[in-house]
Structure 1
Amino acid sequence: MLYGIAAATAALLLAAVLTALIRAPALRAGIVDRRRHRQRPVPVLGGLAVVAVTCLVAWAGQWTRVAPLGGGIAKLLAAAAAVAVLGLVADVWRLRARVLVAATAVAAACVVPYDETGVLGGVLAVGWIVLSVLAFRGLDHADGLAGTVGVITAFGAGACAAVEVLDGLAVLLSVFAAALTGFLMHNWHPARIGLGACGSLFTGFLLSSSVVLTRAGYGIGSSVAVVFCLGAVAFADAVLVVLVRLLGRRPLLRRGPDHLTHRLRRLGLTPQGSVVLLGAGSFSSVLVGVLVHTGWMGEWAVLWVAGGVVAAVLVLLRVPVPRSARVASTQVRGALRVRNG
């Protein structure tokens, strides 16, 4: 218990300091995200600090045997770190989306406990991990959103792990949540640094894989209910984006102003207000997921979360995209074509 508190405190402070130190070199190297709504370039290597601090503190506990992770958890962290390295490559040199998806699927296949999930459950788990990684990658479009949802989800997944007496996993998730909080000190609007593919892929992979390990051995139906609740906000954002782009006949993997926060801002919310609102939604759904996992609520409770997701998607789907946003999107696509030759 005391080590967990000390490790989380160290992770928070180290991540806050390392994130600040990384910002200047990233700017000099030109590793930035020039988004349409920004007035200045924002470096995207903040995720590197989160990954480095999480792995360092977790390794220290493993090496000193004060808080050993265990074989399965150590393998999970190694796979998440490998995915983060691939994300770092994408941040610096850019990679095709299908490469990221394929590599994530391979890493996911390496951490799923098939002896407990079965073949069908294992295949579903791999698919869930890949979808979660893509969903968290999509959440990194707004200042503070991916970090806020990630911290809340980490605490929920950590609570589920503690209930299952997976102490190593619970400590790892608490360390990760603290490191992500340290990063958020620099990522709240207006952000001085972004999470980037390195951090968002690591976040999505670590959280979704942790939930899979926590739910291993449970029935598929009840596991789907818990998993959905823990990832409800990311799922809602992904569904909204897919629907909008399919209806508009636009590429699914190309950026556009059609995420949850974009539409909430068109309804009059501030950037901070939209993130707080989605964070509250994430807290509510994660709480339901934890209560279902612990048996304090029945599986029927997921219907409330599902109803909220459907209602939010349908309402925000009707929020019109301003003509200026469409024009800006077209101009950005044209500029990218010219730059890429």
Structure 2
Amino acid sequence: MPIVRSPQNPIITPQDVNASKAGWEVIGVFNAGVAQHRDEVILLLRVAERPINDNPDVYYTPVYDAQTNRLGVRTIERGPNVDFSDVRVIRTPDKNYLTSISHFRVARSRDGILFEIDDKPAVLPSSVYESYGIEDPRITLIEGTFYITYSAISEYGICTALLSTKDFVSFRREGNVFHPDNKDVVIFPRRIGGKYYALHRPSCSHYGKPEMWIAESDDLRLWGNHRHLIGVREGEWDGGRIGAGAVPFEIEEGWLEIYHGADADNRYCLGALLLDKDEPWKVVARSALPFMEPEEAFEVEGFFGNVIFPCGVLVENRVVKMYYGASDTSVGYAEIPLDDLVAHLVRGSAEPSPTA
């Protein structure tokens, strides 16, 4: 499939963004929500930062304190009882922590490639459910309002929360809309049969696996009628976990969803789903193989390598314009012909679902 990556990739890197406070450093700018607002392309960037640390004997982990409304630093001594095997997480005998904390920053562009990035955060952690940060925004435009789903991380788990805005200047918090642990929530851009729909990814239990579900709502805040959509395929490129990537967009054949899949080695690639236009809980077609894999150096190497992860696309003149996180470090851009992406799908490739 012809995929055209921007020759200017990565189009945004940590060096392009200043830290939110003195003594901190930005280690990642990635997984951006995408929107078209007036004559600009808007990226709502996930900015990951941490305190600068010159002491090899300890680790400084950032934590938001809702009581004081301040970012604080917890000192963790390195030792045999502390697990640093995952660069994203610190596992102690008492609790797990993240090695960085994320907020959202607005970037604006006239051409979709060269972005001006705001000096200050647009949205910071602000509640006990966000003490470890806010992550991976997805933006859906519905009747003039942009609704933003995102992961709210804390010691209580991973909730999905909702923001709304009309201008990307002021934001209204709508609260937690999916309880822990749940993430990768994307909302369809219009009602279908009188209902709003969203894809989501509950965490695995003793029995289940990290797979994609669909839910419905009357008001975008209370969600129910949860149904399993598609599962992982063991031994395949999406055999470890799957989840929604970009917000679904409507084409003649139905709803097209670009999703991420990871294998047993945490290598993240991209596939697509075609969902029925009137009954989106029905899968019409699915990628048998990934249409895009981490190949470029900035996609393979980084803070957490071998990852490409889109949170948004724009579709213009039958071209899918995709902004994606690369290696949990930077933002890449690629264009894919819509007709080729549809032709890549295999009808009947999804396993039978309990909703079928």
Give your verdict on TM over 0.5: no
Q: Looking at both structures, which has the greater relative contact order when contacts are Cα pairs under 8 Å and sequence separation is at least 6?
A: 1
Give me the TM-score of the superposition, normalised by structure 2.
Answer: 0.28
Bigger helix share = 1
Give me the TM-score of the superposition, normalised by structure 1.
Answer: 0.29
Bigger strand share = 2
